[in-house]
Amino acid sequence: MPQLRIALAQVNPTVGDLAGNAGTVLAWTRRAVEAGAHLVVFPEMVLTGYPVEDLALRESFGLAARHALEELAASLATAGCGDIPAWVGYLDRDEVGPRNAAAVLHGGRVVARQYKHHLPNYGVFDERRYFKRGHSLDIVRVRGLEVGMVICEDIWQEGGPIAALGRAGVDLVVSPNASPYERKKDDARLPLVARRAREAGAPLVYVNQVGGQDDLVFDGDSMVVGTDGALVARAPQFVEHLTVVDLELPGGADRTDAQADEEFTVRRVTVSDSFVPAYEPVHVPGIAEPLPEEAEVWAALVTGLRDYVQKNGFRSVVLGLSGGIDSAVVASLAVDALGADSVYGVSMPSVYSSEHSRSDAADLAERTGLHLSEQPIARMVEVFVGQLGLTGLAEENVQARCRGMTLMGLSNQHGHLVLATGNKTELAVGYSTIYGDAVGGFAPIKDVPKTLVWELARWRNAAAEKHGEVPPIPEDSISKPPSAELRPGQMDSDSLPDYELLDAVLDDYVEGDRGYADLIAAGFEPELVDRVLRMVDRAEYKRRQYPPGTKISFRAFGRDRRLPITSAWREGAV
Protein backbone atom coordinates (compact mmCIF):
# COMPACT_ATOMS: atom_id res chain seq x y z
CA MET A 1 0.00 0.00 0.00
CA PRO A 2 1.45 3.44 -0.88
CA GLN A 3 2.14 5.83 1.94
CA LEU A 4 -0.49 8.31 0.76
CA ARG A 5 -3.21 7.88 -1.85
CA ILE A 6 -4.87 11.18 -2.80
CA ALA A 7 -8.17 11.62 -4.68
CA LEU A 8 -8.74 14.79 -6.71
CA ALA A 9 -12.52 15.24 -7.13
CA GLN A 10 -12.97 17.51 -10.17
CA VAL A 11 -16.73 18.16 -10.02
CA ASN A 12 -19.39 20.52 -11.38
CA PRO A 13 -21.36 22.34 -8.65
CA THR A 14 -24.31 24.72 -9.09
CA VAL A 15 -24.36 28.08 -7.32
CA GLY A 16 -26.85 28.11 -4.46
CA ASP A 17 -27.74 24.40 -4.64
CA LEU A 18 -26.51 23.49 -1.16
CA ALA A 19 -28.34 20.17 -1.02
CA GLY A 20 -27.38 19.15 -4.55
CA ASN A 21 -23.74 20.12 -4.09
CA ALA A 22 -23.59 18.27 -0.76
CA GLY A 23 -24.94 15.22 -2.55
CA THR A 24 -22.18 15.60 -5.14
CA VAL A 25 -19.52 15.73 -2.42
CA LEU A 26 -20.98 12.65 -0.75
CA ALA A 27 -21.16 10.66 -4.01
CA TRP A 28 -17.59 11.48 -5.05
CA THR A 29 -16.24 10.85 -1.55
CA ARG A 30 -17.76 7.37 -1.76
CA ARG A 31 -15.87 6.87 -5.02
CA ALA A 32 -12.66 8.01 -3.35
CA VAL A 33 -13.21 5.54 -0.50
CA GLU A 34 -13.84 2.73 -3.00
CA ALA A 35 -10.57 3.66 -4.72
CA GLY A 36 -8.71 3.27 -1.41
CA ALA A 37 -7.85 6.96 -1.07
CA HIS A 38 -6.56 8.32 2.22
CA LEU A 39 -7.85 11.84 1.56
CA VAL A 40 -10.05 13.59 -0.99
CA VAL A 41 -9.89 17.21 -2.16
CA PHE A 42 -12.78 19.15 -3.75
CA PRO A 43 -12.75 22.52 -5.56
CA GLU A 44 -13.02 25.98 -4.02
CA MET A 45 -16.52 26.75 -2.63
CA VAL A 46 -17.84 23.46 -4.00
CA LEU A 47 -20.64 23.40 -1.43
CA THR A 48 -22.06 26.77 -2.49
CA GLY A 49 -20.86 26.93 -6.08
CA TYR A 50 -18.65 29.72 -7.39
CA PRO A 51 -18.90 32.64 -7.87
CA VAL A 52 -21.76 33.39 -5.49
CA GLU A 53 -21.53 37.15 -6.12
CA ASP A 54 -23.91 39.16 -3.88
CA LEU A 55 -25.30 36.01 -2.28
CA ALA A 56 -22.18 36.32 -0.12
CA LEU A 57 -23.66 39.48 1.40
CA ARG A 58 -26.82 37.71 2.59
CA GLU A 59 -26.48 36.57 6.18
CA SER A 60 -29.15 33.91 5.58
CA PHE A 61 -27.11 32.30 2.79
CA GLY A 62 -23.87 32.35 4.76
CA LEU A 63 -25.49 30.75 7.79
CA ALA A 64 -27.24 28.16 5.60
CA ALA A 65 -23.91 27.25 3.98
CA ARG A 66 -22.23 26.81 7.34
CA HIS A 67 -25.11 24.63 8.55
CA ALA A 68 -24.97 22.59 5.31
CA LEU A 69 -21.27 21.96 5.92
CA GLU A 70 -21.91 20.57 9.38
CA GLU A 71 -24.73 18.39 8.06
CA LEU A 72 -22.45 17.16 5.28
CA ALA A 73 -19.79 16.11 7.80
CA ALA A 74 -22.39 14.04 9.66
CA SER A 75 -23.76 12.57 6.40
CA LEU A 76 -20.31 11.45 5.31
CA ALA A 77 -19.86 9.57 8.59
CA THR A 78 -23.33 8.00 8.37
CA ALA A 79 -22.52 6.85 4.81
CA GLY A 80 -19.37 5.09 6.00
CA CYS A 81 -17.03 7.82 4.67
CA GLY A 82 -16.11 9.38 8.00
CA ASP A 83 -12.62 7.93 8.13
CA ILE A 84 -11.39 9.74 5.00
CA PRO A 85 -10.60 13.42 5.50
CA ALA A 86 -12.37 15.55 2.87
CA TRP A 87 -11.26 19.08 1.96
CA VAL A 88 -14.47 20.93 1.04
CA GLY A 89 -14.72 24.58 -0.07
CA TYR A 90 -17.70 26.63 1.12
CA LEU A 91 -18.91 30.11 2.11
CA ASP A 92 -18.40 30.77 5.80
CA ARG A 93 -19.67 33.65 7.91
CA ASP A 94 -18.30 34.66 11.29
CA GLU A 95 -18.42 37.78 13.45
CA VAL A 96 -16.06 39.54 11.01
CA GLY A 97 -18.12 38.83 7.90
CA PRO A 98 -18.32 36.47 4.88
CA ARG A 99 -15.32 34.25 4.16
CA ASN A 100 -14.15 32.28 1.16
CA ALA A 101 -13.33 29.16 3.15
CA ALA A 102 -12.41 25.51 2.98
CA ALA A 103 -12.90 22.96 5.74
CA VAL A 104 -11.62 19.50 6.53
CA LEU A 105 -14.38 17.04 7.36
CA HIS A 106 -13.48 13.91 9.30
CA GLY A 107 -15.20 11.55 11.72
CA GLY A 108 -18.55 13.28 11.33
CA ARG A 109 -17.15 16.69 12.34
CA VAL A 110 -15.66 19.85 10.89
CA VAL A 111 -12.13 19.48 12.25
CA ALA A 112 -10.45 22.45 10.56
CA ARG A 113 -11.48 25.66 8.77
CA GLN A 114 -9.25 27.92 6.76
CA TYR A 115 -9.95 31.23 5.02
CA LYS A 116 -8.56 32.46 1.73
CA HIS A 117 -5.71 34.93 2.22
CA HIS A 118 -5.37 36.69 -1.15
CA LEU A 119 -8.70 38.01 -2.45
CA PRO A 120 -8.53 38.72 -6.20
CA ASN A 121 -10.01 41.98 -7.42
CA TYR A 122 -9.28 42.07 -11.15
CA GLY A 123 -10.88 40.76 -14.35
CA VAL A 124 -13.99 38.79 -13.41
CA PHE A 125 -13.13 38.73 -9.70
CA ASP A 126 -14.67 40.97 -7.00
CA GLU A 127 -13.67 39.07 -3.88
CA ARG A 128 -12.63 42.14 -1.90
CA ARG A 129 -16.22 43.32 -2.27
CA TYR A 130 -17.48 40.18 -0.57
CA PHE A 131 -14.96 38.46 1.68
CA LYS A 132 -12.71 39.09 4.64
CA ARG A 133 -9.24 37.57 4.31
CA GLY A 134 -7.71 34.91 6.53
CA HIS A 135 -4.48 35.18 8.54
CA SER A 136 -3.72 31.62 9.67
CA LEU A 137 -3.20 28.15 8.21
CA ASP A 138 -4.46 24.83 9.58
CA ILE A 139 -2.05 21.95 9.01
CA VAL A 140 -3.72 18.57 9.24
CA ARG A 141 -1.93 15.32 10.05
CA VAL A 142 -3.10 12.41 7.89
CA ARG A 143 -1.46 8.99 8.37
CA GLY A 144 1.40 10.70 10.16
CA LEU A 145 1.96 13.24 7.35
CA GLU A 146 1.49 16.99 7.57
CA VAL A 147 -0.91 18.42 4.97
CA GLY A 148 -1.27 22.16 4.44
CA MET A 149 -3.73 24.06 2.27
CA VAL A 150 -3.88 27.19 0.11
CA ILE A 151 -7.03 28.38 -1.68
CA CYS A 152 -6.93 29.37 -5.37
CA GLU A 153 -5.50 32.92 -5.57
CA ASP A 154 -3.16 32.08 -2.67
CA ILE A 155 -0.98 30.13 -5.13
CA TRP A 156 -0.82 33.03 -7.58
CA GLN A 157 1.06 35.08 -4.99
CA GLU A 158 4.74 34.50 -4.34
CA GLY A 159 5.49 34.14 -0.65
CA GLY A 160 2.62 34.36 1.82
CA PRO A 161 0.72 31.15 2.62
CA ILE A 162 2.84 28.91 0.39
CA ALA A 163 6.08 30.13 1.92
CA ALA A 164 4.62 29.81 5.42
CA LEU A 165 3.70 26.18 4.75
CA GLY A 166 7.20 25.54 3.49
CA ARG A 167 8.69 27.02 6.64
CA ALA A 168 6.29 24.95 8.75
CA GLY A 169 7.64 21.78 7.16
CA VAL A 170 4.51 20.33 5.57
CA ASP A 171 4.72 17.09 3.62
CA LEU A 172 1.99 18.01 1.10
CA VAL A 173 0.01 21.07 -0.03
CA VAL A 174 -3.56 20.85 -1.34
CA SER A 175 -5.15 23.70 -3.27
CA PRO A 176 -8.90 23.89 -3.94
CA ASN A 177 -9.60 26.15 -6.94
CA ALA A 178 -12.35 27.76 -8.99
CA SER A 179 -10.16 29.08 -11.79
CA PRO A 180 -12.15 30.16 -14.89
CA TYR A 181 -11.04 29.04 -18.32
CA GLU A 182 -9.58 31.33 -20.93
CA ARG A 183 -7.59 30.52 -24.05
CA LYS A 184 -4.03 29.34 -23.39
CA LYS A 185 -4.45 29.63 -19.62
CA ASP A 186 -2.53 26.42 -19.03
CA ASP A 187 0.52 28.15 -20.48
CA ALA A 188 0.51 30.11 -17.21
CA ARG A 189 -1.23 27.67 -14.85
CA LEU A 190 1.11 24.66 -14.98
CA PRO A 191 4.34 26.69 -14.60
CA LEU A 192 2.73 28.56 -11.72
CA VAL A 193 1.77 25.38 -9.86
CA ALA A 194 5.28 24.05 -10.46
CA ARG A 195 6.85 27.20 -8.99
CA ARG A 196 4.65 27.04 -5.91
CA ALA A 197 5.47 23.36 -5.31
CA ARG A 198 9.15 24.24 -5.36
CA GLU A 199 8.51 27.20 -3.06
CA ALA A 200 6.61 25.02 -0.57
CA GLY A 201 9.15 22.25 -0.78
CA ALA A 202 6.27 19.78 -1.13
CA PRO A 203 4.10 18.24 -3.84
CA LEU A 204 1.10 20.43 -4.70
CA VAL A 205 -2.35 18.98 -5.36
CA TYR A 206 -4.32 21.44 -7.51
CA VAL A 207 -8.05 20.66 -7.78
CA ASN A 208 -10.14 22.86 -10.05
CA GLN A 209 -13.88 23.17 -10.64
CA VAL A 210 -15.40 22.10 -13.97
CA GLY A 211 -18.58 23.30 -15.70
CA GLY A 212 -20.38 26.49 -16.61
CA GLN A 213 -21.70 29.27 -14.35
CA ASP A 214 -23.42 32.14 -16.17
CA ASP A 215 -20.75 33.62 -18.47
CA LEU A 216 -17.86 31.72 -16.86
CA VAL A 217 -16.72 28.23 -17.71
CA PHE A 218 -14.29 26.14 -15.67
CA ASP A 219 -12.08 23.61 -17.42
CA GLY A 220 -10.95 21.43 -14.53
CA ASP A 221 -7.37 20.62 -15.57
CA SER A 222 -6.69 19.41 -12.02
CA MET A 223 -3.14 18.23 -11.45
CA VAL A 224 -0.46 17.05 -9.05
CA VAL A 225 3.03 18.51 -9.34
CA GLY A 226 6.10 17.21 -7.52
CA THR A 227 8.54 19.28 -5.51
CA ASP A 228 10.86 19.47 -8.51
CA GLY A 229 8.06 21.01 -10.60
CA ALA A 230 7.47 17.87 -12.66
CA LEU A 231 3.89 17.00 -13.61
CA VAL A 232 2.81 13.86 -11.76
CA ALA A 233 -0.85 13.59 -12.75
CA ARG A 234 -3.45 15.60 -14.66
CA ALA A 235 -7.22 15.23 -15.09
CA PRO A 236 -8.91 15.66 -18.48
CA GLN A 237 -10.46 19.03 -19.25
CA PHE A 238 -14.18 19.89 -19.18
CA VAL A 239 -15.41 16.64 -17.62
CA GLU A 240 -16.08 15.56 -14.04
CA HIS A 241 -13.30 13.20 -13.03
CA LEU A 242 -11.77 11.47 -10.01
CA THR A 243 -7.98 11.36 -10.28
CA VAL A 244 -6.29 9.07 -7.78
CA VAL A 245 -2.56 9.53 -7.15
CA ASP A 246 -0.14 7.53 -5.03
CA LEU A 247 2.70 9.44 -3.35
CA GLU A 248 5.59 8.28 -1.19
CA LEU A 249 6.60 11.23 0.99
CA PRO A 250 10.00 11.27 2.77
CA GLY A 251 8.48 13.09 5.74
CA GLY A 252 6.76 9.86 6.80
CA ALA A 253 9.48 7.36 5.93
CA ASP A 254 10.57 6.77 9.52
CA ARG A 255 7.07 6.65 11.02
CA THR A 256 5.68 3.36 12.30
CA ASP A 257 2.30 1.97 11.25
CA ALA A 258 0.98 2.84 14.71
CA GLN A 259 2.08 6.43 14.28
CA ALA A 260 0.60 6.57 10.80
CA ASP A 261 -2.77 5.45 12.15
CA GLU A 262 -2.71 7.78 15.15
CA GLU A 263 -5.61 10.06 15.90
CA PHE A 264 -6.32 12.79 13.39
CA THR A 265 -4.72 16.09 14.53
CA VAL A 266 -4.64 19.73 13.48
CA ARG A 267 -2.13 22.48 14.22
CA ARG A 268 -2.36 26.14 13.29
CA VAL A 269 0.43 28.38 12.02
CA THR A 270 0.62 31.99 10.90
CA VAL A 271 2.72 33.45 8.11
CA SER A 272 6.04 32.96 9.92
CA ASP A 273 7.12 29.36 10.97
CA SER A 274 10.24 27.49 9.55
CA PHE A 275 11.89 24.57 7.53
CA VAL A 276 11.80 23.23 3.94
CA PRO A 277 12.20 19.46 3.27
CA ALA A 278 12.52 17.63 -0.09
CA TYR A 279 9.99 15.32 -1.79
CA GLU A 280 9.46 13.17 -4.84
CA PRO A 281 6.53 11.11 -6.16
CA VAL A 282 6.99 7.37 -6.58
CA HIS A 283 3.91 6.46 -8.62
CA VAL A 284 2.92 8.20 -11.85
CA PRO A 285 -0.65 7.50 -13.05
CA GLY A 286 -2.02 8.45 -16.46
CA ILE A 287 -1.50 12.09 -17.39
CA ALA A 288 -4.30 13.53 -19.54
CA GLU A 289 -2.95 15.55 -22.45
CA PRO A 290 -4.23 19.13 -22.81
CA LEU A 291 -6.64 19.56 -25.70
CA PRO A 292 -5.45 21.24 -28.91
CA GLU A 293 -6.46 24.91 -28.98
CA GLU A 294 -9.53 24.68 -31.25
CA ALA A 295 -10.76 21.54 -29.47
CA GLU A 296 -10.26 23.25 -26.10
CA VAL A 297 -12.23 26.34 -27.15
CA TRP A 298 -15.01 24.22 -28.64
CA ALA A 299 -15.23 22.15 -25.45
CA ALA A 300 -15.40 25.36 -23.38
CA LEU A 301 -18.22 26.74 -25.52
CA VAL A 302 -20.15 23.46 -25.43
CA THR A 303 -19.74 23.20 -21.64
CA GLY A 304 -20.77 26.80 -21.03
CA LEU A 305 -23.88 26.49 -23.21
CA ARG A 306 -24.91 23.08 -21.83
CA ASP A 307 -24.64 24.12 -18.20
CA TYR A 308 -26.37 27.46 -18.71
CA VAL A 309 -29.33 25.72 -20.37
CA GLN A 310 -29.59 22.78 -17.99
CA LYS A 311 -28.80 24.56 -14.70
CA ASN A 312 -31.45 27.17 -15.50
CA GLY A 313 -34.10 24.55 -16.14
CA PHE A 314 -34.49 24.79 -19.94
CA ARG A 315 -35.00 21.69 -22.02
CA SER A 316 -34.54 23.14 -25.51
CA VAL A 317 -33.16 26.10 -27.44
CA VAL A 318 -34.29 28.02 -30.51
CA LEU A 319 -32.21 30.16 -32.86
CA GLY A 320 -32.47 31.86 -36.22
CA LEU A 321 -30.75 30.03 -39.07
CA SER A 322 -29.65 32.45 -41.78
CA GLY A 323 -27.37 30.07 -43.64
CA GLY A 324 -24.38 32.12 -42.45
CA ILE A 325 -21.32 31.05 -40.53
CA ASP A 326 -22.32 32.43 -37.11
CA SER A 327 -25.71 30.74 -36.87
CA ALA A 328 -24.22 27.52 -38.28
CA VAL A 329 -21.52 27.42 -35.59
CA VAL A 330 -24.01 28.25 -32.80
CA ALA A 331 -26.37 25.52 -34.04
CA SER A 332 -23.52 22.98 -34.14
CA LEU A 333 -22.46 23.94 -30.61
CA ALA A 334 -26.05 23.55 -29.41
CA VAL A 335 -26.37 20.10 -30.99
CA ASP A 336 -23.09 18.99 -29.39
CA ALA A 337 -24.16 20.42 -26.02
CA LEU A 338 -27.80 19.31 -25.87
CA GLY A 339 -28.49 16.80 -28.62
CA ALA A 340 -30.23 17.52 -31.92
CA ASP A 341 -33.70 16.84 -30.56
CA SER A 342 -33.40 19.79 -28.18
CA VAL A 343 -32.39 22.30 -30.86
CA TYR A 344 -34.93 24.21 -32.95
CA GLY A 345 -33.75 26.28 -35.89
CA VAL A 346 -35.94 28.83 -37.63
CA SER A 347 -35.32 30.15 -41.14
CA MET A 348 -36.87 33.63 -41.44
CA PRO A 349 -36.46 34.82 -45.04
CA SER A 350 -37.31 38.40 -46.07
CA VAL A 351 -37.65 39.92 -49.52
CA TYR A 352 -33.85 40.40 -49.59
CA SER A 353 -32.92 36.85 -48.55
CA SER A 354 -30.97 34.85 -51.12
CA GLU A 355 -31.94 31.33 -52.09
CA HIS A 356 -28.69 29.98 -50.66
CA SER A 357 -29.68 31.31 -47.21
CA ARG A 358 -32.62 28.91 -47.18
CA SER A 359 -30.75 26.03 -48.78
CA ASP A 360 -27.74 26.36 -46.47
CA ALA A 361 -30.02 26.42 -43.42
CA ALA A 362 -31.77 23.29 -44.69
CA ASP A 363 -28.40 21.64 -45.38
CA LEU A 364 -27.28 22.38 -41.81
CA ALA A 365 -30.49 20.88 -40.40
CA GLU A 366 -30.02 17.73 -42.45
CA ARG A 367 -26.39 17.37 -41.40
CA THR A 368 -27.04 17.85 -37.67
CA GLY A 369 -30.57 16.46 -37.29
CA LEU A 370 -31.94 19.56 -35.55
CA HIS A 371 -35.55 20.66 -36.01
CA LEU A 372 -36.06 23.25 -38.77
CA SER A 373 -39.07 25.40 -39.56
CA GLU A 374 -39.56 28.35 -41.87
CA GLN A 375 -41.29 31.55 -40.82
CA PRO A 376 -41.19 34.19 -43.61
CA ILE A 377 -41.16 37.75 -42.26
CA ALA A 378 -41.90 39.77 -45.42
CA ARG A 379 -45.52 40.52 -44.54
CA MET A 380 -44.65 41.48 -40.95
CA VAL A 381 -42.01 43.89 -42.21
CA GLU A 382 -44.39 45.33 -44.80
CA VAL A 383 -46.95 46.22 -42.10
CA PHE A 384 -44.40 48.01 -39.89
CA VAL A 385 -42.67 49.79 -42.78
CA GLY A 386 -45.93 50.83 -44.42
CA GLN A 387 -47.65 52.09 -41.30
CA LEU A 388 -44.62 54.01 -39.99
CA GLY A 389 -43.24 55.11 -43.36
CA LEU A 390 -39.79 53.70 -42.64
CA THR A 391 -36.84 53.79 -45.05
CA GLY A 392 -33.11 53.12 -45.02
CA LEU A 393 -31.60 51.91 -41.74
CA ALA A 394 -34.97 52.03 -39.96
CA GLU A 395 -36.41 49.62 -42.54
CA GLU A 396 -33.37 47.32 -42.27
CA ASN A 397 -33.63 47.16 -38.51
CA VAL A 398 -37.35 46.33 -38.63
CA GLN A 399 -36.42 43.14 -40.48
CA ALA A 400 -34.00 42.14 -37.73
CA ARG A 401 -36.58 43.01 -35.07
CA CYS A 402 -39.31 40.98 -36.76
CA ARG A 403 -36.95 38.03 -36.60
CA GLY A 404 -36.26 38.73 -32.93
CA MET A 405 -39.99 38.99 -32.21
CA THR A 406 -40.60 35.69 -34.01
CA LEU A 407 -37.98 33.87 -31.94
CA MET A 408 -39.23 35.33 -28.67
CA GLY A 409 -42.79 34.38 -29.54
CA LEU A 410 -41.73 30.78 -30.16
CA SER A 411 -39.75 30.87 -26.93
CA ASN A 412 -42.78 31.98 -24.91
CA GLN A 413 -45.06 29.48 -26.62
CA HIS A 414 -42.83 26.41 -26.33
CA GLY A 415 -40.44 27.18 -23.47
CA HIS A 416 -37.28 27.32 -25.62
CA LEU A 417 -34.29 29.42 -24.61
CA VAL A 418 -33.42 31.82 -27.47
CA LEU A 419 -29.78 31.78 -28.54
CA ALA A 420 -28.28 34.98 -29.94
CA THR A 421 -25.79 34.20 -32.72
CA GLY A 422 -23.61 37.34 -32.72
CA ASN A 423 -19.83 37.11 -32.38
CA LYS A 424 -17.34 39.25 -30.43
CA THR A 425 -16.26 41.28 -33.47
CA GLU A 426 -19.82 42.36 -34.24
CA LEU A 427 -20.48 43.10 -30.59
CA ALA A 428 -17.31 45.19 -30.39
CA VAL A 429 -18.21 47.50 -33.26
CA GLY A 430 -21.97 47.56 -32.70
CA TYR A 431 -22.78 45.60 -35.87
CA SER A 432 -26.05 44.25 -34.49
CA THR A 433 -29.63 45.37 -33.92
CA ILE A 434 -30.94 45.77 -30.39
CA TYR A 435 -34.16 43.75 -30.00
CA GLY A 436 -33.36 42.13 -33.33
CA ASP A 437 -30.44 39.77 -33.91
CA ALA A 438 -29.22 40.75 -30.42
CA VAL A 439 -32.31 39.24 -28.80
CA GLY A 440 -31.92 36.10 -26.70
CA GLY A 441 -31.25 34.53 -23.33
CA PHE A 442 -27.71 33.33 -24.04
CA ALA A 443 -25.05 34.15 -26.65
CA PRO A 444 -22.72 31.15 -27.13
CA ILE A 445 -20.13 32.89 -29.34
CA LYS A 446 -20.31 36.32 -27.71
CA ASP A 447 -16.59 36.12 -26.83
CA VAL A 448 -15.46 34.53 -30.13
CA PRO A 449 -13.93 36.88 -32.73
CA LYS A 450 -15.17 36.44 -36.30
CA THR A 451 -11.90 35.02 -37.56
CA LEU A 452 -11.96 32.40 -34.79
CA VAL A 453 -15.56 31.51 -35.72
CA TRP A 454 -14.29 30.43 -39.13
CA GLU A 455 -11.38 28.52 -37.59
CA LEU A 456 -13.71 26.65 -35.24
CA ALA A 457 -16.07 25.78 -38.10
CA ARG A 458 -13.23 24.28 -40.14
CA TRP A 459 -11.89 22.44 -37.08
CA ARG A 460 -15.32 20.99 -36.19
CA ASN A 461 -15.85 19.71 -39.72
CA ALA A 462 -12.35 18.20 -39.83
CA ALA A 463 -12.94 16.52 -36.46
CA ALA A 464 -16.18 15.00 -37.78
CA GLU A 465 -14.47 13.68 -40.90
CA LYS A 466 -11.66 12.22 -38.78
CA HIS A 467 -14.25 10.17 -36.88
CA GLY A 468 -16.15 9.11 -39.98
CA GLU A 469 -19.07 11.47 -39.26
CA VAL A 470 -20.89 13.96 -41.45
CA PRO A 471 -19.36 17.45 -41.06
CA PRO A 472 -22.08 19.52 -39.38
CA ILE A 473 -21.40 22.89 -41.05
CA PRO A 474 -22.13 23.37 -44.78
CA GLU A 475 -19.07 24.39 -46.78
CA ASP A 476 -21.08 27.21 -48.37
CA SER A 477 -21.69 28.71 -44.93
CA ILE A 478 -17.93 28.81 -44.37
CA SER A 479 -16.82 30.03 -47.79
CA LYS A 480 -19.43 32.61 -48.84
CA PRO A 481 -18.94 36.31 -48.01
CA PRO A 482 -20.82 37.19 -44.79
CA SER A 483 -23.95 39.32 -45.13
CA ALA A 484 -26.85 40.42 -42.92
CA GLU A 485 -29.08 40.48 -46.06
CA LEU A 486 -31.06 43.50 -44.87
CA ARG A 487 -30.87 45.33 -48.22
CA PRO A 488 -30.21 44.29 -51.85
CA GLY A 489 -26.69 42.93 -52.36
CA GLN A 490 -25.55 43.84 -48.84
CA MET A 491 -22.17 42.52 -47.63
CA ASP A 492 -20.48 42.96 -44.24
CA SER A 493 -17.55 44.50 -46.12
CA ASP A 494 -19.79 47.43 -47.05
CA SER A 495 -19.80 48.57 -43.41
CA LEU A 496 -16.71 46.98 -41.83
CA PRO A 497 -12.99 46.61 -42.55
CA ASP A 498 -11.63 43.21 -43.56
CA TYR A 499 -12.25 40.88 -40.61
CA GLU A 500 -8.60 39.78 -40.28
CA LEU A 501 -7.50 43.40 -39.97
CA LEU A 502 -10.47 44.39 -37.81
CA ASP A 503 -9.87 41.57 -35.33
CA ALA A 504 -6.20 42.52 -35.07
CA VAL A 505 -7.10 46.11 -34.10
CA LEU A 506 -9.81 44.92 -31.69
CA ASP A 507 -7.46 42.46 -30.00
CA ASP A 508 -5.06 45.28 -29.15
CA TYR A 509 -7.75 47.79 -28.19
CA VAL A 510 -10.18 45.58 -26.27
CA GLU A 511 -7.94 42.88 -24.80
CA GLY A 512 -4.73 44.89 -24.61
CA ASP A 513 -6.24 48.24 -23.55
CA ARG A 514 -3.89 49.95 -26.00
CA GLY A 515 -4.67 53.56 -26.93
CA TYR A 516 -4.66 55.40 -30.24
CA ALA A 517 -0.95 56.22 -30.22
CA ASP A 518 -0.03 52.63 -29.29
CA LEU A 519 -2.06 51.27 -32.21
CA ILE A 520 -0.45 53.66 -34.67
CA ALA A 521 2.97 52.66 -33.34
CA ALA A 522 1.98 49.02 -33.88
CA GLY A 523 1.62 49.76 -37.61
CA PHE A 524 -2.12 50.28 -38.11
CA GLU A 525 -3.25 53.08 -40.42
CA PRO A 526 -4.56 56.17 -38.56
CA GLU A 527 -7.81 56.25 -40.56
CA LEU A 528 -8.52 52.61 -39.72
CA VAL A 529 -7.71 53.06 -36.03
CA ASP A 530 -9.88 56.16 -35.72
CA ARG A 531 -12.78 54.44 -37.47
CA VAL A 532 -12.64 51.25 -35.41
CA LEU A 533 -12.18 52.96 -32.05
CA ARG A 534 -15.13 55.24 -32.65
CA MET A 535 -17.35 52.27 -33.54
CA VAL A 536 -16.28 50.42 -30.39
CA ASP A 537 -16.75 53.38 -28.06
CA ARG A 538 -20.17 54.28 -29.45
CA ALA A 539 -21.51 50.72 -29.07
CA GLU A 540 -21.14 50.39 -25.29
CA TYR A 541 -24.88 50.87 -24.76
CA LYS A 542 -25.60 47.92 -27.04
CA ARG A 543 -23.19 45.65 -25.19
CA ARG A 544 -24.88 46.43 -21.88
CA GLN A 545 -28.14 45.02 -23.28
CA TYR A 546 -26.65 41.90 -24.88
CA PRO A 547 -27.29 38.43 -23.41
CA PRO A 548 -24.59 36.69 -21.35
CA GLY A 549 -22.24 34.35 -23.18
CA THR A 550 -19.33 32.05 -22.38
CA LYS A 551 -16.04 33.82 -21.63
CA ILE A 552 -13.03 32.29 -23.43
CA SER A 553 -10.68 35.27 -23.74
CA PHE A 554 -8.53 37.22 -21.32
CA ARG A 555 -10.96 40.16 -21.53
CA ALA A 556 -14.55 39.44 -22.43
CA PHE A 557 -17.28 42.05 -22.71
CA GLY A 558 -19.18 42.16 -19.42
CA ARG A 559 -17.61 41.84 -16.00
CA ASP A 560 -14.08 41.81 -17.49
CA ARG A 561 -14.39 45.14 -19.32
CA ARG A 562 -16.46 47.81 -17.57
CA LEU A 563 -16.69 51.16 -19.30
CA PRO A 564 -19.26 53.93 -18.80
CA ILE A 565 -21.98 54.28 -21.41
CA THR A 566 -22.05 58.04 -20.94
CA SER A 567 -18.50 59.25 -21.54
CA ALA A 568 -16.97 62.20 -23.39
CA TRP A 569 -13.54 60.55 -23.60
CA ARG A 570 -12.47 59.50 -27.10
CA GLU A 571 -9.18 57.97 -28.12
CA GLY A 572 -7.53 59.95 -30.89
CA ALA A 573 -4.56 61.93 -32.05
CA VAL A 574 -3.30 64.35 -29.39
Catalytic positions = 44, 116, 152
Strand order in the sheet with 204-208: 231-234, 223-225, 204-208, 172-177, 145-149, 136-142, 265-270
The burial of 567, by beta-carbon neighbours within 10 Å (0-12 exposed, 13-18 middle, 19 or more buried), is given as exposed
Whether the CA torsion 365, 371, 374, 377 is positive or negative: it is negative
Mention every residue, 6+ apart, whose C-beta is less than 8 A from residue 357.
322, 323, 324, 347, 349, 485
Within 13 Å, how many C-alpha atoms sit on residue 537's CB side?
A: 17
Read off the amino acid at residue 59: E
Tell me the CB-side half-sphere exposure of residue 325, using CA atoms within 13 A: 23
Rounded distance, CA 300 to CA 179, Å? 13
Quote the DSSP letter at residue 88: E
**Rounded Cα–Cα distance for residues 505 and 528 (Å):** 9
Question: How does strand 172-177 pair with strand 39-41?
Answer: unpaired
Closest CA to 135 of 333, 329, 325, 269: 269
CA 11/CA 52 separation, integer angstroms: 17
User: Cα(16)–Cα(110) distance, rounded to whole angstroms?
Assistant: 21
The answer to whether the peptide bond before residue 51 is cis (omega within 30 degrees of 0) is yes
At residue 452, φ and ψ (nearest 5 deg) are -70, -30
SS3 track for 458-480: HHHHHHHHHCCCCCCCCHHHHHC
Helix (H) / strand (E) element for 63: namely: helix 59-78
* 8 strand-pairing partners: 41, 243
